[in-house]
Amino acid sequence: MRQYTGLDKLIHSFDQALRSLVPGSTSAQRENPGNQSEAQLAVSEARHVAGLMRVNHSGEVCAQALYHGQALTAKLPNVRKEMEQAAIEEQDHLAWCEDRLKELDSVPSLLNPVWYSLSFGMGAIAGIAGDKYSLGFVAETERQVSMHLQHHISQLPEQDERSRKILMQMNEDELHHRDTALNAGGIDLPLPVRITMTAISKLMTKTSYYV
């Protein structure tokens, strides 16, 4: 089995970042759950839905970065494999959100490189801290993402089943990732860490809706 050098890992990380940040470079492995017929949305409704989907797209960019950072520093091979598999599943979410943004004549957030960098660093630090903290970080992240998704689902126009189906499937996957991380040995994070994560999440949510 090939042993990767530090340079190999650096190149691989750079490739992962580009695939997460460049629109159209990520393909979904599963069928888009929002393949219902398009409903007619008013201009204001379409603009609002686009803002919500832009936030969720940025959230998936953060998830990719989080898993990439943790996989790079995870100590146990089985934990590293869990991080890599979760990142693959999150790629579907990234592609689905991109598709919906295109349909709404909108684009991803210009701030995604910032969110990716911050999340990658946090994921790498969590991996260095130890696998139980790394898994706990995943569980807390997915819990917060699920809360955002449920809130966004409640804000969608009633007739927008296309976006609703996408967000509902994403929420189901996030809860599965949370439970998987906890069952694998993840622990509750210290309160200051959870508060910091919530603050960063709110900042990302408020800015990505518009930019």
pLDDT tens, position by position, 85-107: 776 777 899 999 999 999 999 99
Does the residue 187 lie in any domain? yes
Does the residue 30 lie in any domain? no
Q: Which residue has the tokens 């999150």?
A: 90
**Most confident of the following: 18-22, 45-49, 195-199:** 45-49
Per DSSP, 22 falls in state: S
* Cα 99 to Cα 60: distance, rounded to the nearest angstrom: 13
Number of domains in the chain: 1
**Most confident of the following: 2-16, 25-39, 153-167:** 153-167
Q: Is 93 annotated as a binding residue?
A: yes
Q: Which residue has the tokens 């970080």?
A: 137
Does the residue 37 lie in any domain? no
pTM of the model: 0.85
* Cα 20 to Cα 25: distance, rounded to the nearest angstrom: 7
Instruction: Tell me the per-residue pLDDT of 102-159, one tens digit each, with 9 for 90 and over.
Output: 999 999 999 999 998 888 888 888 878 887 888 888 888 888 889 999 999 999 999 9
Rg of the chain (C-alpha set): 17
Give the CATH number of the domain where residue 146 resides.
Answer: 1.20.1260.10
Does the residue 123 lie in any domain? yes
| Residue 209 near residue 52 (C-beta atoms within 8 A) | yes
More confident residue, 194 or 44: 44
Cα–Cα distances (Å) from 176 to 15, 65, 66, 173, in that order, read 27, 19, 17, 5
pLDDT given for residue 169 in this prediction: 94
* Cα 147 to Cα 167: distance, rounded to the nearest angstrom: 11
More confident residue, 108 or 84: 108
Does the residue 182 lie in any domain? yes
Give the Cα-Cα-Cα angle 197, 172, 89 (nearest 5 degrees): 80
pLDDT given for residue 133 in this prediction: 84
**Statement: residue 80 has pLDDT above 90:** no
- Domain range for 78: 44-208
| Residue 151 near residue 97 (C-beta atoms within 8 A) | no
Q: Is 142 annotated as a binding residue?
A: yes
Q: Is 103 annotated as a binding residue?
A: no
Q: Which residue has the tokens 């807390």?
A: 140
Does the residue 14 lie in any domain? no
* Cα 55 to Cα 123: distance, rounded to the nearest angstrom: 20
The rounded Cα 112 to chain-centroid distance in angstroms is 11
pLDDT given for residue 67 in this prediction: 79
Q: Is 177 annotated as a binding residue?
A: yes
State the pLDDT confidence band at 84, using cuts at 50, 70 and 90. Answer: low
Q: Is 174 annotated as a binding residue?
A: yes
Does the residue 117 lie in any domain? yes
Q: What is the DSSP string of 60-109?
A: HHHHHHHHHHHHHH-SSHHHHHHHHHHHHHHHHHHHHHHHHHHHTT----
**Statement: residue 161 has pLDDT above 60:** yes
* Cα 164 to Cα 6: distance, rounded to the nearest angstrom: 42
Does the residue 175 lie in any domain? yes
Average pLDDT value over all residues in the chain: 84
Q: Is 84 annotated as a binding residue?
A: no
